[in-house]
Chains A and B, each alone.
Chain A
Amino acid sequence: KAGVTQTPRYLIKTRGQQVTLSCSPISGHRSVSWYQQTPGQGLQFLFEYFSETQRNKGNFPGRFSGRQFSNSRSEMNVSTLELGDSALYLCASSLHLFLAGDTDTQYFGPGTRLTVL
């Protein structure tokens, strides 16, 4: 079974621009989460989607948004990019949102490395 895929893998943008990152979950997985990883802050949770609805959100400004489509694929968008948005953005999928057992274990994609100049 194919893993989580993320596109693009690398991206260079300039301040003020906006960017859209894409994530395709493992087949059959319905929950998608996004994380930002930086050397200073480590891994931080952005948001989680299940059945096209945002179920949980981290402490990020409104410039960060996302959505999930009916096929469970997800996109995240960052508007008005700042230098501090340079990071590795990781997407993770799980079978379900939250149930007893292992069905909410998250499996991660390779990430999109965003550089803001």
Chain B
Amino acid sequence: AQKVTQAQTEISVVEKEDVTLDCVYETRDTTYYLFWYKQPPSGELVFLIRRNSFDEQNEISGRYSWNFQKSTSSFNFTITASQVVDSAVYFCALRGGSGGSNYKLTFGKGTLLTVNP
């Protein structure tokens, strides 16, 4: 069975601080896909990034960066110079590549990030 753990339930920072959201996953699939979604108060899940298991290259997109480490089964997300608009719940998700029941998106419990002015 697949599992995604986001150990941080809530994080509160002051604007312009850097913040890292942790994500640890478990899967028996050799090929799998990892995602981060953002859920603002409006409720809609906004896709942020997808990472394939065979591509361990880290990625930076503006103030966002992702660190994928297969050796530790982690896919952490860092926001640099946080802004109030970054306040949201962030979900890490895993999708297996072997088909069957692992093919569905399995979400972590989410991390509520509050950025205070």
Q: Which residues of A come within 8 Å of B, CB atoms?
A: 33, 35, 42-43, 45, 48, 56, 58, 88, 90, 92, 98, 102, 104-111, 113
Contact = CB atoms under 8 A, between A and B. Distances in A.
Contacts of A102: 50
B64 interface: no
Interface of B: 33, 35, 37, 42-47, 50, 91, 95, 99, 101, 103-110
B35 A98 contact: no
B102 to A, nearest CB: 10
A44 B104 CA distance: 10
Contact of A58 (B33, B91, B104, B108): B104
Given A98-B99, A105-B35, A45 B44 contact: no
B27 to A, nearest CB: 15
Contacts of A98: 99, 103
Contact of B101 (A35, A56, A88, A104): A56
A107 B91 CA distance: 14
A88 B110 contact: no
Nearest to A110: B44
A109 B47 contact: no
Nearest to B50: A105
Nearest to B31: A100
Contact of B104 (A42, A45, A107, A113): A45
A33 B95 CA distance: 13
A111 B104 contact: no
B43 A88 contact: yes
Which of A35, A58, A90, A106 is the most central at the interface, judged by chain B CB atoms within 10 Å of its CB?
A: A106
